[in-house]
């Protein structure tokens, strides 16, 4: 009786081992297959590398139909969101419809307000220009000389809503309405005794996007007693506002001089380094020699 039992136990043990081995093999196959499939998916949706489009960046007929049947608030939201995402046709539709949105938009703590904040920081300057147009529609400000007259009056000391008037002047000048006059008016307010007025004058000047704004912004950055205003001037030189890349590069020589200015306080010098990096795409920290060497190498030899 003992031997048959031992044989039976060995057979049972071998069968169990075979089942375990087969299970492990099948598990390994399935795991390997799943791992292979996941690797393919992971490769397709990796955060690194070039952008991967979900579909052609063209407004669908479904979206256009929705916009056509929506009130102005939803039209502005939908089109600005699609413009931010690079959809072709969105900016053109904003340009065609924005004049019909005047006085009909609400941007207080809602989706449109959030989208506008993003649009003012978009890398595509056309989207920033769309944000300006939508802001003028929100404020119900017509793009006319009379509007500049009105806002210039409201921006003077003693008027309620003075800060809004300064900002609206920048919006109007940004769209080519009395830009030279707006610039001179805003320059006056960059020397105002009220630091908040000076700050919004800087932001408004940044919207103008003209060559003439570079030098005043550099001066404000270096000399305004307020660190907040100095930082905003640096940001409008480097990334904010409506200046184009070639215009921002005009600020580099002065910024290099600032970097070597022993009298410039450490915080402003740190902002110089940040501005240089944002404008050029290079990063030499606060190494003035490295920055100067790089810049000299970019200039054409005579």
pLDDT of 28 over the 80 cut = no
pLDDT value of residue 7: 44
pLDDT of 211 over the 80 cut = yes
Question: How confident is the model over 67-110, as pLDDT tens digits?
Answer: 999 999 999 999 999 999 999 999 999 999 999 999 999 999 89
pLDDT value of residue 116: 98
Residues in CB range of 195: below 8 A, 6 or more apart? 226, 228, 229
pLDDT value of residue 8: 54
pLDDT of 121 over the 90 cut = yes
CA angle 260, 266, 269 (to 5 degrees): 45
Percent of the chain's residues with pLDDT above 90: 78
Q: Enumerate the domain spans of the chain.
A: 61-139, 145-298
Q: Tell me the H-state helices in the chain.
A: 2-44, 61-68, 72-84, 90-97, 111-119, 125-139, 145-154, 162-174, 179-189, 195-208, 214-223, 227-238, 245-249, 252-259, 266-280, 288-298
Question: How confident is the model over 190-210, as pLDDT tens digits?
Answer: 999 999 999 999 999 999 999
pLDDT value of residue 48: 83
Give domain 145-298's CATH number out of 2.60.40.420, 1.25.10.10, 1.20.1050.10, 1.20.1300.10.
1.25.10.10
- Contact criterion met (CB below 8 Å) for 116 and 109: no
pTM of structure: 0.83
How many angstroms separate the Cα of 300 from the Cα of each of 105, 199, 293, 296?
A: 50, 37, 13, 9
DSSP 193-232: SSHHHHHHHHHHHHHH--GGGHHHHHHHHHH-S-HHHHHH
Question: How confident is the model over 177-190, as pLDDT tens digits?
Answer: 999 999 999 999 99
């Amino acid at each position: 009786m003992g031997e048959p039992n031992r044989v039976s136990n060995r057979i049972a043990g071998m069968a169990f081992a075979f089942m375990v081995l087969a299970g492990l093999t099948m598990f390994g196959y399935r795991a390997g297959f799943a791992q292979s499939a996941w690797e393919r998916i992971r490769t397709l949706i990796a955060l690194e590398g070039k952008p991967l489009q979900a579909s052609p960046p063209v407004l669908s007929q479904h979206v256009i139909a929705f916009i056509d049947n929506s009130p102005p608030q939803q039209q502005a939201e939908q089109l600005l969101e699609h413009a931010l995402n690079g959809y072709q046709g969105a900016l053109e539709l904003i340009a065609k419809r924005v004049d019909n949105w005047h006085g009909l938009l609400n941007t207080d703590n809602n989706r449109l307000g959030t989208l506008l904040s993003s649009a003012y920081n978009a890398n595509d300057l056309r989207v920033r220009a769309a944000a300006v147009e939508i802001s003028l529609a929100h404020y119900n400000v017509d793009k006319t000389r009379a509007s500049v007259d009105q806002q210039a009056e409201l921006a003077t000391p003693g008027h309620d809503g003075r800060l809004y008037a300064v900002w609206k002047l920048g919006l109007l000048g940004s769209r080519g309405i009395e830009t030279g006059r707006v610039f001179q008016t805003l320059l006056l307010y960059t020397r105002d005794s009220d630091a908040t007025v000076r700050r919004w004058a800087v932001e408004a000047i940044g919207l103008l996007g003209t060559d003439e704004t570079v030098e005043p912004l550099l001066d404000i950055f270096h000399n305004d007693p307020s660190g907040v205003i100095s930082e905003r001037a640096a940001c409008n030189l480097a990334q904010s506002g409506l200046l184009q890349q070639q215009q921002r590069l005009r600020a580099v020589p002065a910024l290099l001089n600032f970097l070597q200015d022993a009298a410039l306080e450490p915080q402003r010098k740190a902002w110089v380094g940040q501005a240089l990096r944002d404008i050029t795409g290079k990063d030499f920290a606060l190494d003035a020699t490295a920055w100067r060497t790089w810049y000299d190498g970019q200039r054409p030899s005579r």
